[in-house]
Amino acid sequence: MASSDDEHSYQTLHENTTRAELFPAKQHKEEWWEEAEHEGASLSGYLYELIQEARMYRDSGAPFIQTQDQTVKQLQNKIDDLQTQLEDARQASGGRTHLSIDDLVTRVLDQQYQSLDELTERISASDDVAQHLQRQIEDRLYALAENGQVEYQRGHGWRLKEEN
């Protein structure tokens, strides 16, 4: 049963309405107040609608929005998994990726005569060689970066590190 204070304070509210208290950070309350004003609603009505929307979203089976900490943890786990896979692959191949010249030459040779320059160009343009080279170059760049010899900047790429 509602106390006499509740009955007195909320006499104008519908009989099925009750009080629920919320204790947010001041900053959040200010943000919600501004959003409510922008929507043309009272703070109470605005928060009620947000809660109902969130409940429908949750009940629909949609994934929850993650916090930054959760995202960072997931990304760190993914990095750990990829490092483990990389280490396993290196161990399986003795630490080096082997690319056989014999295999490459026999793949590009066919019934037509080709000059050495043509064969070299076709082998150089193959996906296997490009991927192998890219892996080797990337490994070397990371090793140089660990030694402080090169640096990387997102959107720009790699460069020799400037002398101090």
Q: Distances in Å between the alpha carbon of 110 and those of 101, 119, 122, 126?
A: 16, 10, 12, 15
Tens of pLDDT, residues 93-132 = 655 556 777 877 888 888 888 888 888 888 888 887 888 8
Q: What are phi and psi of 160, to 5 degrees?
A: -65, 140
Contact 132, 99 (CB under 8 A): yes
Handedness of CA 65, 68, 69, 74 (dihedral sign): positive
Tens of pLDDT, residues 65-102 = 667 777 778 878 888 888 888 777 777 665 555 677 78
Per-residue model confidence (pLDDT) at position 10: 46
List the chain domain ranges: 21-75, 88-160
pTM: 0.35
